[in-house]
Amino acid sequence: MTEPWGEPDKIRRILADGETWAVVGLADNPQRAAYGVARFLQQRGKRIVPVHPDAPTVHGEQGYATLADIPFPVDVVDVFRRSEAAGEFADEAVAIGAKAVWFQLDVLDEAAYERATEAGLDVVMDRCPAIEWAAHGPR
C-alpha cells in the first residue's frame, strides 16, 4: 500500500498543475540537490523561486529570504530542509495560500502533513519531483 503522502494521483496533479515552485533551501551551489532539481523543473517549463536566507539569484530567478517575501502566488512549496525544520515551511505554505507542499527525499513530518492536508493543500513527502516525473509527470 502507498503511504498517503506518496499517492500517484496527488503526485501527478502537483507535477501537472504546479506552475510556480518556491524551492526552500535553493542557493547558487551546483553541488546541492536543490540546484539540480530546480534546473530540472525549470527545463520542464516550471517557474522556480529560490527561498533562502541569503536570497540569491539562481538559474536567473530572483531569490527571496522567506516564503512570505514572495510578491506573487506560489503553487508548490518544495522543501529541501531537514525533517525537524519542515513543519514551519508547511505552515508558511498554508499562510501564503500555496496549493501544495512537496517534502524532498528523507524529509518526513507527519504532523506537518496532517496540518497542511487539513488546510486543503496537497502534500507529498519523501519524494523527488525529478525522480517522479518519469512515472507521473505531464506527457
- pLDDT in the model for residue 1: 43
- pLDDT in the model for residue 2: 54
Average pLDDT over residues 94-110: 96
Contact (Cβ atoms closer than 8 angstroms) between residue 67 and residue 89: yes
Q: Model-level pTM?
A: 0.95
Q: With pLDDT > 90 as the criterion, what percentage of the chain qualifies?
A: 89
Residue 54 predicted with pLDDT over 60:
yes
Q: Judging by DSSP bridges, how do beta strands 122-124 and 47-51 pair with one another?
A: unpaired
Q: With pLDDT > 70 as the criterion, what percentage of the chain qualifies?
A: 97
**Intra-chain end-to-end CA distance of the chain, in Å:** 26
Q: In this structure, which amino acid lies at residue 11?
A: I
Average pLDDT over residues 70-92: 96
Residue 138 predicted with pLDDT over 90:
no
Contact (Cβ atoms closer than 8 angstroms) between residue 91 and residue 112: yes
Average pLDDT, the chain: 94
Residue 5 predicted with pLDDT over 50:
yes
